[in-house]
Structure 1
Amino acid sequence: MSTLRPIGRCIRYFQGRRAVRRFASAATVPLSDPHPSIPDAGSHSRIPPEPTKVTHLASGITVASIETYSPVSRLGLIVEAGSRFETEKNRGVTHFLRNSAFLSTSDYTAFRISRETEQLGGHLSATSTRDHFIYMGDCMRNDIGVMMEGISSVALNSSFFPWEVSNQTARVELDLKLAAESPTIGIMESVHKGAFRTTLGNSLYCPTYNLGKITSDHLHQFVSDHYQPKRMVVIGIGVNSDEFVKTVQDTFSSAKSPEKVIDKLASQYHGGSEHRVETGSELVHACLATEGVGLSSKDFLTSGLLQRILGVTPFIKWSPNTISRVNKAGSEAVGGNPAMVTCFNTCHSDSGLFGLYVVSHADDVRKVLSAAVNEFSAVAKGNISDAELTRAKNQLKASILMTHESQVELLEDIGTQILVNGTYTDAHAAADSVDKISGDDVVQVAKRFFGGKPTYAAQGNLCNTPYLDELRS
């Protein structure tokens, strides 16, 4: 899934030099024996977290909660209101909505929201994907009520004063300039546009022609149309479930179902397009994709397994990444010259993209791309060993479990699953499902992906970059 998440703040505590020296000098007990000063594990074991509880309120809002017994709580509101719901009349409205989050509401001024959050030692953020808009907040457990009041007010009662919205134009323009500095962002936006045209093809960024044209009325109308109770999930991690449900009932009491219901348009994959941008860069970024699967697809986990069989980015910094089939093939094709090939798998609510992303010197890109495509073809023909399948399963299971150690990822996953599937499957159940996938399942999905209608985008010095018909001939 594609997201624009702000850089998180992290506080780390370091031991002083004396503590390090004392630890080193105390290491006189053989490493094979337990140290006498370490207490028994049972004396300080943590209480395991409770299962996720899902509650459907009479208003239509769904509440998901997990009691982790942590002193810090993470709260979130996920709304089915991403950029896919934009129209020609309001293109870029979700970008302005992101930048206008936590401004003045009918209950609070922007200054008060900022001041109270800082006084509590909390943290607020807003981000969006093509499917969803996400508000998040961190706070101490005693301040859950205050934080939820703030999130509710920002989501449902933002004032969007014309002067405040107008002030966001400069920030949106800065976002566009920063995005233009990243070839990866440009490539992925181009591939989505070529693949889906509208819906999932709508950009996460405001188009330059709409800078200064998105008004307060656009924001009010978008929120009114899409911020419906049945399209909202409120999540609490590190909360007492019963108390949290009551808090949500109180703070979101103003959420009402509108008279006008906006239906969700299904995405339609078109493909077959080619987008090339010539620049003065010595490197070429190129992406070749076909239609993948959505989050609700029965092949969702199988596509993740195929991705790891083909190869993702290195697991160890500066490693040669020899277990990646596509990266190894690309590197060998150019005699070990610097090149990077990774398989990417982007899943949205009802569709996705699956393919290859390449970065190499302009003189080498043709060989690198051809080698990577040939490796994909080999997998689609069944060239997968048992050892590769086992390794890929271990990687996928580890990725699922490690990702859910992050409360940010866990919160987004819970909300997204409930909005897309209506239920939540936890990480351990998902990891268990990976073991049931067979090699034949992977090959069938690979055949379908490889035989799909491709979408292609490239940026850089393209003098030696092949065209789409040359890659698939």
Structure 2
Amino acid sequence: MTPPARAGSTDPGPGAQAPARAVTRTLTSDPLGGTVRRTVLPSGLRVLTEAIPTTRSVSFGIWVAVGSRDETGPLAGVSHFLEHLLFKGTRKRTALDISAEIEAVGGETNAFTTKEYTCYYARVLDEDLPLAIDVMCDLVADSVLDPADVETERGVILEEIAMHDDEPGDEVHDLFAEAVYGSHPLGRLISGTEETVTPMTRRQIHGFYRRRYTAPSIVIAAAGNLDHAAVVKLVRQAVRGTPLDSAPAGPSAHRPGSPVARTRSARTLVEHKDTEQAHLMLGCPGIGRLDDRRFALSVLNNVLGGGMSSRLFQEIRERRGLAYSVYSYASQYADSGLFGVYAGCAPGKADEVLELIRSELATTARQGISAAELARGKGMVKGAYVLGLEDTGSRMSRLAKGELLFGDLLSVDELLAQVDAVTAEQVNTLAAELLSRPMSLAVVGPFDEGSFA
């Protein structure tokens, strides 16, 4: 459920009619951070900032509401391919210019692609923010996608895919997503595969770029020692004359939570590899990020496998010494999610470890958690959240995700209050429902398909 808009809001929300002029409002004034402001430009481009005067740096990010789940099968991996290519040059800058200008002032820049969004970001000294804005807006808005660069990056991406295949601890998570989602885009690799990346043409990539990288689908976020009005002015200057300097439009609505992504019936997938360790993933479909139960799920996840005091860690590693790494996690998308448990162990101990995981999940589903575990789980969630906001990069990400994924920004205090409000009954009800679902199993190791029948 999307949080309600702030009282006194005068600017249009996501998906609303285009404003005739830029509209700015203050979202929060947070005692744990600074003042957050939001401006919607006539093009639908959104700019959010958090002023933190006690820092000497600024993190600046451009977030695009497109990821691997927005690709057709033949174009699987195009979002990630494009992420690479945008750093290769614009009409004003070569690839060397892009990297050299930021590095010359001691800054850093990078990007990443997820299943539902892509982010390009830079971190610089506060005095160098105008440079970072100009460079980052230039590469996102006005890349040329030179055919020679397409071929160069194709080779780089194919090497990246091969490197991923050599990391069984990472591969098993992708295999688990495939077990749950099958051919649905959420079940595919973000990077694409050799079969989809190899034939992809420059024309296809450019078409995807211009269709999906539009002003209404982009959120710009910055946090650090900055002035909001100055940032907005610099952004407008940087995109002037580019495809992001477009006709008036309202901001795109955040990705809807329905219809729910299609999942498959529970199954076992085994990838045979001659590894020294078995990599196991056991889990099921979870809940979407707009589900009111997401705070209860965070508490439940921490109790089960979120730290060294968790049930799974204590039982499998501390008491029995069967695995070095064992944890649970929850991934959440707009309309769906995953809940899973990972363990890495000696191949000969895989059956015993799986039996212990199944037993712990069944016990938790049946008996729930204790009052002490509830308190500890809440403390872990709140501590991780607040400690994760100690730098400008995480603050910048908070602004963008609130706007792009939820359509609103809760203050730190509001989020902590949501966690505090979680009850044992809510957690136990969710555990009984979630952990009783049929479980899919993904395994990478020296096994054949019949080993876990």
TM range (shorter): 0.7 to 0.9
User: What TM-score do you get using the length of structure 1 for normalisation?
Assistant: 0.81
Q: Report SS of the residue matched to 1:364.
A: helix
* 1:241 aligned to which of 224, 228, 241: 228
Residue of structure 1 equivalent to 2:65: 80
Structure 1 residues 288-317: Cα deviation after superposition (integer angstroms, max 9, x where no partner)? 12111222221111111110111224xxxx
Q: Report SS of the residue matched to 1:89.
A: helix
The structure showing larger relative contact order (alpha-carbon pairs under 8 Å, at least 6 residues apart) is 2
From the superposition, tell whether residues 306 and 257 of structure 1 become closer, same or farther in structure 2 (CA, over 3 Å). farther
* 1:385 aligned to which of 359, 370, 385: 370
d(CA) in 1 for partners of 2:124, 2:321:
50
Aligned letter for 2:325? M
Q: State whether residues 58 and 392 of structure 2, in contact with CA within 8 Å, keep that contact through their aligned partners in structure 1.
A: no
Equivalent runs, 1:184-223 vs 2, <5 Å:
184-196=169-181, 197-223=183-209
From the superposition, tell whether residues 76 and 164 of structure 1 become closer, same or farther in structure 2 (CA, over 3 Å). same
Residue of structure 2 equivalent to 1:280: 274
* 1:226 aligned to which of 208, 212, 232: 212
d(CA) in 1 for partners of 2:254, 2:387:
36
Structure 1 residues 317-340: Cα deviation after superposition (integer angstroms, max 9, x where no partner)? xxxx3x22122333488x434453
Q: Report SS of the residue matched to 1:277.
A: strand
Residue of structure 1 equivalent to 2:15: none
From the superposition, tell whether residues 93 and 392 of structure 1 become closer, same or farther in structure 2 (CA, over 3 Å). same
Matched, 1:51 2:35: yes
Residue of structure 2 equivalent to 1:172: 157
d(CA) in 2 for partners of 1:208, 1:283:
26
* 2:351 aligned to which of 362, 366, 385: 366
From the superposition, tell whether residues 300 and 406 of structure 1 become closer, same or farther in structure 2 (CA, over 3 Å). farther
From the superposition, tell whether residues 447 and 136 of structure 1 become closer, same or farther in structure 2 (CA, over 3 Å). same
User: What TM-score do you get using the length of structure 2 for normalisation?
Assistant: 0.85
d(CA) in 2 for partners of 1:195, 1:221:
31
Equivalent runs, 1:9-408 vs 2, <5 Å:
49-69=33-53, 70-196=55-181, 197-238=183-224, 239-253=226-240, 254=242, 255=244, 256=246, 267-313=261-307, 321=308, 323-331=309-317, 335-408=320-393
Structure 1 residues 272-299: Cα deviation after superposition (integer angstroms, max 9, x where no partner)? 2321012222321111121112222211
d(CA) in 1 for partners of 2:345, 2:122:
40
d(CA) in 2 for partners of 1:420, 1:49:
21
From the superposition, tell whether residues 230 and 447 of structure 1 become closer, same or farther in structure 2 (CA, over 3 Å). farther
Bigger shift: residues 205-214 or 131-140: 205-214
Bigger shift: residues 81-90 or 193-202: 193-202
**TM-fit CA distance, 1:424:** 0.9
Q: State whether residues 83 and 129 of structure 1, in contact with CA within 8 Å, keep that contact through their aligned partners in structure 2.
A: yes
Structure 2: runs of 5 or more not aligned? 1-30
**TM-fit CA distance, 1:465:** 8.7
**TM-fit CA distance, 1:466:** 6.0
| Root-mean-square deviation (Å) | 2.5
Moved over 4 A (4+): 261-266, 463-466
d(CA) in 2 for partners of 1:447, 1:281:
35
Structure 1: runs of 5 or more not aligned? 1-46, 314-320
